[in-house]
Amino acid sequence: MAYYQEKIERASRDEMISLQNDRLVSIVKRTYDDVPVYRDKMKTIGVEPGDIKGIDDLHKLPFLTKDDLRDAYPYGFLAKPLEDCVRIQSTSGTTGRRVVAFYTQNDINIWDDCCARAIVAAGGTKEDVVHVSYGYGLFTGGPGLNGGSHKVGSLTLPMSSGNTDRQIQFMIDLKSTILCCTPSYAAFLAESINEAGLRDQISLKAGIFGAEAWSEEMRHDIEAKLGIKAYDIYGLTETSGPGVSFECEEQTGMHINEDHFYPEIIDPDTHEVLPEGSKGELVFTSLSKEAFPLLRYRTRDICVLSRKECSCGRTLVKMAKPMGRSDDMLIIRGVNVFPSQIETVLLNEGYPANYQIVVDRVNYTDTFEIQVEMTDEMFSDDVGSIEKKEHELLSALKSMLGISPAVKIVTPKSIARSEGKAVRVIDKRKI
Ligand code: DLL
């Protein structure tokens, strides 16, 4: 059995708690001293760094949300002078909703270590060719797995996403053994490889897939089509990116790198911390980040934690695959989309608030349609001018969301009215 940082990955419970206590005390003090927004937040509820003596006191700290980060854009949560930072990454989504995260060189080292743990858990060694088809750039997928692969000493192929023919050609010519990308892109690649009759020319043995929800059925399908083992990986930009947690060969949930990210499960409505095994919202406290520390950050991902012994020998707590979100954010083709943004565009463009967002997954690719009722005045317009309006609406939506939906303008009163809450989102994806 191979581990990247065995002492930590197999630490006893006492060793881990002691490390977490020390790191928490130190990060709370640093954050209080260096981030005025945090200091104010803590002062408002009468908590001082001295009140936090270890993990058992964590519940005394206030929660942090994506809105807090957005309100403080861009530098409000920066805990180090800019000259000590070496990197910026950002969440997918729109300009209005973007969160920027900062990294010191030490933050990058730790992030890379977290991803290296994931690669080694998937069987990666320095003999491997790691084919990274996550996007590079502001998105954390490419840079994260790239850094992890370097740490393992594998030969790293920084493919980025897109250009499927070239992906497959390189995969064959350079004998890629570990594929890293979103599960939907993995499924698409698998299908393309099989359709082209190239399955026996590829050398893949494993895949590390994450950044979006995917089902066990999808895992089995990808594994069968590519002849690999497919491992899940989880993370979010705010906590550094992929590598917050990763799957081992048991494939029954993801081990959380809890020496760096302390997890809690809370009730999203009452904010009460729930006992192990309960389903609720995942909250993370970063224990070692320098530039962009997060205390009790609400991920909005609904999840369950388990400390059941794992056959791989790791003692790191496990999280189940996220089971949805406690907010209304949709992840469509890897991009974060909020229905409220769509509503803003529709209203700005003069449409009534009668609309429906229909999301589905066809051949492992997300489809995304927005149906909106035309106004009574538009109803008397000719087909040409309705098409023109559809076009204008599409470009306004695209510039707000960063991805293109299909737009369908329907006749007035044709979208079903609800007697309770309006049903704005119909998500038919079976994940
Ligand atoms: O998706 C980071 C990442 C890159 C993770 C590559 C794994 C691999 P964001 O764009 O900030 O960061 O989106 C974070 O994506 O809160 C979850 O809702 C969702 N998510 C990430 N990984 C998984 C997963 C990256 N394995 C948001 N399963 C998170 C389900 C996931 N959802």
Ligand 1: atom nearest CA of 300 is 16
Q: Tell how far the Cα of 380 is from the centroid of ligand 1, in angstroms.
A: 45
Q: Tell how far the Cα of 337 is from the centroid of ligand 1, in angstroms.
A: 13
What confidence score (pLDDT) does residue 431 get?
66
- Say if residues 359 and 336 touch (Cβ distance below 8 Å): no
**pLDDT classification of 222: cutoffs 50, 70, 90:** very high
pTM for this predicted structure? 0.88
Q: Tell how far the Cα of 341 is from the centroid of ligand 1, in angstroms.
A: 20
Region 109-125: mean pLDDT is 98
Taking the domains of the chain in order of start, what are their residue ranges?
1-323, 330-427
Ligand 1: atom nearest CA of 325 is 18
Ligand 1 interacting residues, C-beta cut-off 6 A? 91-92, 134, 140-141, 210-213, 232-237, 241-242, 299, 301, 321-322, 331
Protein residue closest via CA to atom 27 of ligand 1: 236
Ligand 1: atom nearest CA of 321 is 28
Kindly report, residue by residue over 134-180, the tens digit of the pLDDT.
999 999 999 999 999 999 999 999 999 889 999 999 999 999 999 99
What confidence score (pLDDT) does residue 419 get?
57
CB atoms within 10 A of CB 291: 24
- Does 74 sit behind a cis peptide bond, omega within 30 degrees of 0 on the bond before it? yes
- What CATH code would you report for 330-427? 3.30.300.30
- Say if residues 122 and 229 touch (Cβ distance below 8 Å): yes
Q: Tell how far the Cα of 211 is from the centroid of ligand 1, in angstroms.
A: 3
Region 196-208: mean pLDDT is 98
What confidence score (pLDDT) does residue 420 get?
55
| 363 Rama sector, left if φ>0, alpha if ψ -120 to 50, beta otherwise | left
Q: Tell how far the Cα of 367 is from the centroid of ligand 1, in angstroms.
A: 19
What confidence score (pLDDT) does residue 363 get?
85
**pLDDT classification of 340: cutoffs 50, 70, 90:** confident
Q: Which CATH class is domain 1-323?
A: alpha beta
Give me the percent of the chain exceeding a pLDDT of 90: 77
**Cα pseudo-dihedral 33, 36, 39, 40, rounded to 10:** 160
Region 57-80: mean pLDDT is 95
Mean pLDDT of the chain: 93
Which phi and psi angles does 118 have, rounded to 5°?
Answer: -65, -40
